Structure 1
């Protein structure tokens, strides 16, 4: 996997390390990014299922009105 180097504010990194309970700055930031990606995938899965159900309801023929 390719690596990327970035600069972050030290206070921000220390805060992440404390909140995550991880002693390595690299590992702490990586854990936060991975968690963000996983949450995004879960959200996509939930909204996709809801959208699919709504499309199925809209696709059903409706009875004549009035």
Structure 2
């Protein structure tokens, strides 16, 4: 896996470390990013059936108007 180096505000990283209970800055930030991605996938899984249903309604032929 490719790695990316970034700079973050030290106070922000310390806050993440404290909230996550993780002693390593790298591991703490990685945990937050992984959690963010997992939440996105869970949201997609919950909303996907609704989105699909709305798309099916849009596909139904409409009676001519006028």
Give the gaps of 5 or more residues in structure 2.
62-66
Q: TM-score, normalised by structure 1?
A: 0.79
Number of aligned positions between the proteins: 61
Task: Tell me the C-alpha RMSD between the 2 structures.
Answer: 1.7
1:46 corresponds in structure 2 to: 46
Q: TM-score, normalised by structure 2?
A: 0.79
Task: Output aligned runs, 1:1-66, within 5 Å.
Answer: 1-56=1-56, 58=57
Q: How far has the Cα of 1:37 moved from its partner?
A: 0.3
Give the gaps of 5 or more residues in structure 1.
62-66
